[in-house]
């Protein structure tokens, strides 16, 4: 059997210098406005990049505008619009710098994956390997090769489809570690799965996959956990499951051995996790403080300023001028080294550092950090957390966000509504 290594939260770190364009050729002049916008994009702060672009758009040439718009359209889930702009750039501007072309090609692979166009995703990864391999680091090249193998495996599979015939009010169940679980069912079986916007792909244990009739593919994938350990998994597709009266076809799962999703020291076992591709396909969800999930038949299409974006398969939220990953499957929030540096003076004055243990699939890892209450650091903010860990060191080398927001923040509100069409999170 073939073994594939996959880093699900990989990020692109491609430093580019913008070149001024004419209709079919490119000059070599730098544009500071573009560089500033692009720097914010590389930091995953799509919100500030969007605002700066809106204020400075008229100073950029048309192709420069289309480059920024294509990237931001991807971040704010306007996937087809992003593809249209990339295709137009490819048609009209054949001499784009290689680094810009690579960035656009990587954005387009993400668009195709989220649109469930697996064959197009395979072809887009082939294009990167054939034209841009020399621009990639060894780790990035391995990641692209692995992604190409995955989408080659799935290229001829049917896309995921969701059917919502009526508004559904579904009960969320707390498991023994405090995670929200949702009942999924088939004609013959029903199981409680963790409901987790922070999961890049849905995950299922091998025994439950067998019960649900999941189609398995022979290739094995090495999934990197938060601990740095690697856990083996297979790709699988589930023909159909139900959430209440909602029907979901052709869900892609990472299928793991039962042991990989078990924590024997606390007698805790995860049957499965519903992740990003399933949850976003519901279009709009409301999570209430009394543990109900409401999925309306029709999503609200109001035109609002988005406070949510996607970094590939990771939801981001913009709070108090900072961008965080947003994870409804995490029982508690955690703040990263970027947050520590921003408030280091206040934290050092009021708190004493210690050891913080973080757990995930594959075990636990120890970090140095603090346990803080945010109302002691700054006033008049929306972000309110009590006794939350703040890490002094990076969890990953290329850390860009200020932290990860979980259920402890969500519970401050009677309900939150997450709209994946207008990319807005509303706190009630």
What is the C-alpha to C-alpha distance for residues 169 and 244, in angstroms, rounded to an integer? 8
Question: Can you say how many angstroms the Cα of residue 40 is from the centroid of all Cα atoms in its chain?
Answer: 17
- Tell me the per-residue pLDDT of 32-85, one tens digit each, with 9 for 90 and over: 999 999 999 999 999 999 999 999 999 999 999 999 999 999 999 999 999 999
Structure-block tokens of residue 332: 């508690």
Sheet with 314-319: strands ordered across? 308-311, 314-319, 322-326, 403-405, 334-335, 388-391, 363-372, 354-360
Nearest alpha carbon to residue 214 among 179, 266, 251: 251
Asked if 179 contacts 329 with a C-beta cutoff of 8 angstroms, the reply is yes
The DSSP call for residue 83 is H
Options 3.40.50.920, 2.40.70.10, 3.20.20.70, 3.40.50.80; which CATH number does 161-295 get?
2.40.70.10
Say which residues have a Cβ less than 8 Å from residue 260's Cβ, sequence separation at least 6: 205, 231, 232, 233, 361, 362
Q: How large is the angle between the packed helices 138-153 and 118-132, nearest 10 degrees?
A: 150
CA dihedral sign of residues 379, 380, 381, 387: positive
The residues of the chain scoring below 70 in pLDDT are 1-30, 224-229, 359-363, 397
What is the C-alpha to C-alpha distance for residues 169 and 17, in angstroms, rounded to an integer? 50
What is the C-alpha to C-alpha distance for residues 203 and 216, in angstroms, rounded to an integer? 13
pLDDT at residue 331 in the model? 81
The CATH number assigned to the domain with range 308-427 reads 2.40.70.10
What is the C-alpha to C-alpha distance for residues 113 and 157, in angstroms, rounded to an integer? 12
Domain extent listing, the chain:
3-153, 161-295, 308-427
Options 3.30.70, 3.40.50, 1.25.40, 1.10.3470; which CATH number does 3-153 get?
1.25.40
What predicted TM-score, i.e. pTM, was given to this entire model? 0.86
pLDDT at residue 228 in the model? 54
Residue 110, SS3 per DSSP: helix
- Tell me the per-residue pLDDT of 179-236, one tens digit each, with 9 for 90 and over: 889 999 998 899 999 998 878 889 999 999 999 999 999 878 777 654 456 777 899 9
The reply to whether domains 161-295 and 308-427 share a CATH topology is yes
């Amino acid at each position: 059997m073939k073994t594939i290594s996959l880093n699900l939260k990989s990020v692109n770190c491609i430093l580019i210098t913008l070149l001024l364009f004419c209709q079919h050729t490119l000059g070599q002049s730098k544009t500071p406005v573009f560089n500033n916008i692009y720097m914010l994009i590389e930091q995953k702060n799509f919100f500030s990049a969007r605002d700066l672009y809106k204020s400075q758009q008229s100073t950029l040439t048309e192709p420069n505008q289309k480059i920024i718009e294509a990237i931001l359209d991807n971040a704010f889930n306007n996937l087809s619009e992003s593809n249209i702009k990339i295709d137009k750039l490819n048609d009209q501007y054949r001499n784009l710098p290689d680094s810009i072309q690579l960035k656009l090609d990587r954005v387009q692979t993400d668009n195709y994956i989220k649109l469930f166009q697996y064959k197009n995703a395979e072809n887009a990864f082939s294009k990167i390997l054939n034209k841009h391999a020399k621009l990639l680091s060894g780790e990035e090249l391995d990641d692209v090769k692995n992604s190409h193998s995955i989408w080659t495996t799935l290229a001829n599979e049917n896309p995921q489809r969701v059917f919502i015939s009526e508004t559904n009010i579904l009960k969320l169940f707390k498991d023994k570690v405090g995670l929200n679980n949702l009942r999924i069912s088939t004609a013959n079986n029903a199981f409680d799965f963790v409901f987790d916007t922070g999961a890049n792909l849905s995950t299922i244990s091998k025994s439950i996959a067998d019960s649900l009739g999941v189609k398995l593919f022979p290739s094995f994938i090495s999934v990197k956990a938060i601990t740095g350990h690697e856990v083996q998994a297979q790709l699988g597709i589930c023909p159909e499951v139900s959430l209440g009266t909602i029907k979901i076809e052709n869900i892609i799962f990472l299928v793991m051995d039962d042991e990989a999703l078990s924590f024997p020291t606390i007698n805790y076992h995860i049957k499965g996790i519903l992740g990003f591709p399933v949850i976003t396909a519901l279009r709009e969800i409301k999570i209430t403080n009394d543990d109900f999930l409401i999925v309306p038949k029709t999503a609200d299409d109001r035109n609002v300023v988005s406070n949510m974006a996607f970094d590939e398969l990771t939801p981001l939220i913009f709070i108090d001028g900072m961008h965080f990953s947003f994870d409804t499957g995490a029982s508690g929030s955690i703040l990263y080294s970027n947050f520590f540096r921003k408030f280091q003076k206040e934290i050092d004055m009021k708190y004493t550092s210690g050891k913080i243990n973080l757990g995930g699939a594959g075990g636990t890892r120890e970090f140095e950090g603090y346990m803080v209450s945010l109302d002691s650091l700054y006033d008049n903010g929306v972000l309110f957390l009590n006794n939350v860990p703040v890490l002094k060191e990076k969890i990953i080398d290329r850390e860009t966000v200020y932290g990860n927001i979980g259920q402890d923040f969500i519970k401050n509100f009677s309900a939150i509504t997450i709209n994946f069409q207008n990319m807005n999170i509303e706190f009630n």
